[in-house]
């Protein structure tokens, strides 16, 4: 029989006003096993905690029940309190008599009665509690960053600077991500390449950073501190260690008609290519879909011309397996497909472009060398219409677009408008908007400059239709403030397409057992208090994979994720959660039911010897739970037909004892 102490908290008047705390303590004092029961104004105060500790020592308590606020509030506090007094922290149970009694029931008699019953249930549970000792697991002091955009680069740099090795896995041939495609950045209008490429070089040269470009995460096993990741290094048909990035192969390659994804398909590249001049690693890659040699076995020009002998047409995908202590997801975003937005004639006219395409058209390293030309006839556009919120803030019932605000479009559209007017003052620029959202440092000033200094025509209203006609784009729109219809003959229309998480995010989330919201953004462990951690321990979030954000926010979050990773990697070992599943080997049938429902792969099977009748030894297949992997959900306990699998801290008998106490 346990020696249980019951401590009833008043929480000032929060509990005491609707629960007769004295009566609760008196009633619970009569329960079997209870050797002491009291009440106090604030149990969580230092005085309250001191009293609990004193009583544990004085009366030799083996279990403690605290009737107070929700365990979600102070369970950890009281466990620590008791641990300091020498009691196993898992011998503490909380009866929630504030959130679930005093705050929801006004009648004092009713509240008091319920508080007593909840107290009894907690006592009944403590009777069956056993001291639990948390397991320890070592920490592999290496981090994996998935995604090599600005978020991934910044996170990797920060982790590397703290002295820990980091691998960046990037699916493209180079790191850099979306930021590498941008022209200027708001609100300062400094050039994206000028601030990004030095960071890319830093990452490439940092001894602690290994860049695994043209690679994908294939499989993730393990758990916080001990991940084992299998990475596919896609065949690029070029030996990375030999290629000098001289570019001769690109000159010689006869296949020059490959749409250039870096320039959003606005021009072409060769089948062997380096995405852009500042690529890191600066290594060529052969596009197997277009390479004549790989497709037909006829060509081999690049190989013949490569002085370094780096070309290898026989290269195969390779797999590397590495251990990591922490994983950072930085998979980023993409603009949505505009296929469903036919009203803007995106698929009908090449002069209707997305903002990212416009970005490339403005970029000095872009397909037009930085001169703004219409894609259709390469003439200078004189009237440009920008349409905001294309696919953002859509109605849930509409079958296209996203419900959320993509956050960055207002600012980059202002940037585009301003830059156009700056470079080509003869161009008329119209921006159609629902709202202009500019909360951010120097953001609203930036937008007002576009309107006031650069005379960009901002019109509140939506574009209804764009019709290509006679080399012009007939834009029909409404001005909501003037309540009139507008017709503009534009030369170009730029659509601020909503952004969405990269398509690789969903399968990656499954591999990581990390959760996602309905929009496929990764969910954070807590939306306010743990914004860069995933609910899956050891998985962290950086950048737009968690939600739309601009570059400053992304970098801030990347740094925050890095600091969380560093905080994890400096530890030599991790203390686990002891409330995990535990099989009773004597009863286990080895039937694999539990394994089938375990979301973490925490259950394996072993053939173990058992004593059989007449001094024989029987080998039986039994379940084993890895306590460091098990998260304690309990799915296995119900799948187990023999009841061999139980959950520590929430055992079958404990829950039934609670049921009994409540139903009595």
Residue from the set 12, 57, 586, 604 that interacts with another protein by CB under 8 A: 586
Residue from the set 535, 552, 559, 601 that interacts with another protein by CB under 8 A: 535
Q: Could you tell me the smallest distance in angstroms from the CB atom of residue 547 to another protein?
A: 16
**Closest alpha carbon to 18 in 117, 119, 103, 118:** 103
Judged by beta carbon, residue 383 or residue 515, the one nearer another protein is 515
User: Are 357 and 373 within 8 A, CB to CB?
Assistant: no
User: Are 270 and 255 within 8 A, CB to CB?
Assistant: yes
Spell out, one character per residue from 441 to 480, where the chain touches another protein: x when CB under 8 A holds, - when not. Answer: ----------------------------------------
The pair of three-digit structure tokens given for residue 286, joined into one six-digit string: 């052969």
Q: Which stretch binds another protein (CB under 8 A): 344-352, 464-472, 476-484, 625-633?
A: 625-633
Q: Is 368 in the site for another protein (CB under 8 A)?
A: no
Rounded Cα–Cα distance for residues 92 and 80 (Å): 10
Q: Is 38 in the site for another protein (CB under 8 A)?
A: no
Judged by beta carbon, residue 301 or residue 655, the one nearer another protein is 655
Residue from the set 55, 74, 79, 114 that interacts with another protein by CB under 8 A: 114
Residue from the set 17, 589, 601, 624 that interacts with another protein by CB under 8 A: 589
Q: Which stretch binds another protein (CB under 8 A): 378-386, 417-425, 453-461, 595-603?
A: 595-603
Contacts with another protein in 556-585 (CB under 8 A)? 579
Residue from the set 29, 104, 133, 364 that interacts with another protein by CB under 8 A: 104
Q: Is 529 in the site for another protein (CB under 8 A)?
A: no
- Paired sense of beta strands 499-501 and 428-433, if any: unpaired
Q: What's the CA dihedral at 589, 590, 596, 600 to 10 degrees?
A: 120
Q: Could you tell me the smallest distance in angstroms from the CB atom of residue 34 to another protein?
A: 19
Q: Is 592 in the site for another protein (CB under 8 A)?
A: yes
Query: Which residues lie closer than 8 Å to 368 by C-beta, 6 or more apart?
Result: 361, 378
Q: Which stretch binds another protein (CB under 8 A): 100-108, 166-174, 496-504, 549-557?
A: 100-108
Q: Could you tell me the smallest distance in angstroms from the CB atom of residue 526 to another protein?
A: 10
Q: Is 201 in the site for another protein (CB under 8 A)?
A: no
Q: Could you tell me the smallest distance in angstroms from the CB atom of residue 528 to another protein?
A: 12
The pair of three-digit structure tokens given for residue 102, joined into one six-digit string: 């005093």
Rounded Cα–Cα distance for residues 392 and 413 (Å): 14
Judged by beta carbon, residue 191 or residue 635, the one nearer another protein is 635
Rounded Cα–Cα distance for residues 28 and 536 (Å): 39
Residue from the set 21, 87, 101, 310 that interacts with another protein by CB under 8 A: 101
- Tell me the site size for another protein, rule CB under 8 A: 65
For residue 7, how far is the Cα from the chain centroid? Answer: 41
3-state secondary structure (DSSP) of residue 497: strand
Rounded to whole angstroms, what are the CA distances from 504 to 172, 231, 275, 337, 357? 12, 14, 20, 15, 22
* 532-535 contacts, C-beta under 8 A, 24 or more apart: 532/557, 532/560, 532/561, 532/564, 533/564, 534/329
Q: Is 658 in the site for another protein (CB under 8 A)?
A: yes
User: Are 505 and 331 within 8 A, CB to CB?
Assistant: yes
User: Are 268 and 297 within 8 A, CB to CB?
Assistant: no
Continuous segment of H or E residues that includes residue 411? helix 409-423
Q: Is 212 in the site for another protein (CB under 8 A)?
A: no
Q: Could you tell me the smallest distance in angstroms from the CB atom of residue 657 to another protein?
A: 8
Judged by beta carbon, residue 173 or residue 583, the one nearer another protein is 583
Judged by beta carbon, residue 369 or residue 609, the one nearer another protein is 609
The pair of three-digit structure tokens given for residue 461, joined into one six-digit string: 């209203």
Residue from the set 79, 98, 178, 233 that interacts with another protein by CB under 8 A: 98
Q: Could you tell me the smallest distance in angstroms from the CB atom of residue 76 to another protein?
A: 13
Rounded Cα–Cα distance for residues 282 and 175 (Å): 10
Q: Is 367 in the site for another protein (CB under 8 A)?
A: no
Q: Is 500 in the site for another protein (CB under 8 A)?
A: no
3-state secondary structure (DSSP) of residue 180: helix
> In degrees rounded to 5, what are phi and psi of residue 562?
-60, -40
The pair of three-digit structure tokens given for residue 448, joined into one six-digit string: 């007002």
Contacts with another protein in 51-90 (CB under 8 A)? 70-72
Residue from the set 295, 340, 503, 621 that interacts with another protein by CB under 8 A: 621
Q: Is 383 in the site for another protein (CB under 8 A)?
A: no
Query: Which residues lie closer than 8 Å to 518 by C-beta, 6 or more apart?
Result: none
Judged by beta carbon, residue 122 or residue 473, the one nearer another protein is 122
Q: Is 634 in the site for another protein (CB under 8 A)?
A: yes
Q: Which stretch binds another protein (CB under 8 A): 204-212, 267-275, 285-293, 618-626?
A: 618-626
Residue from the set 35, 191, 597, 624 that interacts with another protein by CB under 8 A: 597
Rounded Cα–Cα distance for residues 618 and 612 (Å): 5
**Closest alpha carbon to 496 in 440, 417, 426:** 417
The pair of three-digit structure tokens given for residue 77, joined into one six-digit string: 């506090």
Rounded Cα–Cα distance for residues 529 and 526 (Å): 5
Q: Which stretch binds another protein (CB under 8 A): 56-64, 319-327, 499-507, 594-602?
A: 594-602
**Closest alpha carbon to 344 in 465, 430, 433, 429:** 465
Q: Interface with another protein by CB under 8 A: which residues?
A: 70-72, 96, 98-101, 103-107, 110-111, 113-114, 117-118, 121, 513, 515, 518, 535, 579, 586-593, 596-597, 599-600, 605, 618, 620-621, 631-635, 637-639, 641-644, 647, 650, 652-653, 655-656, 658-660, 662-664
């Amino acid at each position: 029989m346990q020696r249980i102490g019951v401590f009833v908290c008043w929480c000032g008047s929060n509990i005491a006003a609707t629960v007769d705390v004295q009566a609760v303590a008196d009633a619970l004092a009569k329960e079997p096993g209870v050797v002491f029961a009291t009440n106090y104004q604030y149990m969580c105060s230092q005085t309250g905690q001191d009293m609990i500790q004193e009583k544990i020592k004085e009366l030799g308590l083996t279990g403690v029940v605290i009737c107070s606020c929700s365990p979600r509030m102070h369970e950890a506090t009281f466990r620590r309190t008791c641990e300091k007094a020498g009691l196993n922290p898992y011998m503490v149970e909380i009866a929630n008599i504030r959130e679930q009694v005093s705050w929801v029931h006004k009648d004092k008699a009713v509240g008091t009665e319920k508080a007593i019953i909840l107290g009894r249930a907690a006592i009944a549970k403590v009777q069956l509690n056993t001291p639990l000792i948390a397991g320890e697991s070592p920490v592999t002091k290496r981090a994996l960053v998935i995604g090599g955009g600005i978020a991934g680069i910044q996170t990797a740099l920060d982790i590397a600077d703290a002295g820990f090795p980091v691998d960046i896995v990037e699916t493209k041939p180079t790191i850099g991500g979306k930021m590498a495609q941008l022209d200027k950045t708001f609100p300062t209008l400094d050039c994206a390449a000028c601030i990004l490429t030095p960071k890319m070089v830093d990452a490439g040269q940092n001894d602690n950073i290994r860049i695994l470009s043209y690679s994908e995460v294939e499989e993730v096993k393990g758990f916080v501190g001990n991940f084992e990741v299998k990475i596919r290094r896609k065949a690029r048909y070029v030996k990375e260690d030999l290629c000098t990035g001289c570019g001769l192969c690109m000159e010689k390659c006869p296949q020059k008609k490959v749409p250039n994804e870096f320039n959003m398909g606005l021009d072409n590249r060769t089948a062997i290519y380096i995405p852009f001049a500042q690529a890191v690693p600066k290594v060529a890659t052969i596009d197997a879909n277009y390479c004549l040699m790989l497709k037909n076995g006829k060509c081999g020009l690049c190989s013949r011309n490569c002085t370094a002998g780096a070309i290898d047409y026989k290269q195969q995908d390779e797999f590397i397996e590495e251990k990591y202590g922490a994983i950072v997801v930085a998979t980023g975003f993409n603009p949505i497909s505009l296929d469903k937005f036919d009203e803007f004639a995106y698929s009908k006219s090449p002069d209707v472009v997305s903002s990212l395409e416009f970005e490339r058209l403005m970029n000095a390293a872009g397909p037009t060398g930085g001169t703004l030309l219409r894609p259709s006839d390469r003439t200078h556009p004189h009237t440009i219409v920008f349409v905001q919120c294309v696919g953002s803030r859509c109605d849930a019932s509409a079958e296209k677009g996203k419900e959320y605000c993509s956050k960055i479009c207002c600012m980059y559209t202002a940037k585009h408008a301003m830059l156009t007017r700056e470079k080509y003052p003869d161009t008329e620029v119209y921006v159609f908007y629902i709202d202009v959202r500019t909360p951010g440092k120097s953001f609203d000033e930036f937008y007002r400059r576009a309107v006031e200094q650069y005379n960009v025509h901002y019109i509140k209203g939506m574009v209804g239709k764009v019709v290509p006609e006679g080399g012009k784009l007939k834009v029909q729109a409404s001005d909501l403030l003037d309540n009139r219809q507008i017709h503009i003959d534009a030369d170009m229309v730029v659509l601020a397409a909503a952004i969405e998480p990269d398509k690789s995010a969903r399968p990656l989330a499954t591999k990581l057992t990390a959760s996602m919201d309905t929009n496929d953004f990764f969910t954070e462990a807590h939306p306010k208090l743990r914004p860069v951690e995933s609910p899956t321990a050891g998985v962290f979030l950086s950048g737009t994979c968690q939600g739309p954000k601009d570059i400053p926010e992304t970098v801030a979050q990347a740094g925050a994720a890095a600091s969380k990773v560093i905080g994890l990697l400096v530890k030599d070992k991790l203390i686990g959660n002891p409330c995990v599943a535990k099989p009773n080997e004597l009863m286990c049938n080895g039937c694999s039911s539990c394994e089938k429902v375990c979301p973490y792969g925490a259950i394996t099977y072993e053939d173990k010897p058992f004593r059989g009748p007449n001094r024989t030894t029987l080998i039986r297949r039994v379940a084993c739970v890895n306590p460091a992997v098990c998260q304690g959900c309990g799915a296995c306990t119900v799948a187990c037909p023999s009841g061999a699998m139980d959950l520590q801290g929430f055992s079958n008998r404990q829950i039934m004892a609670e049921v009994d106490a409540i139903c009595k």
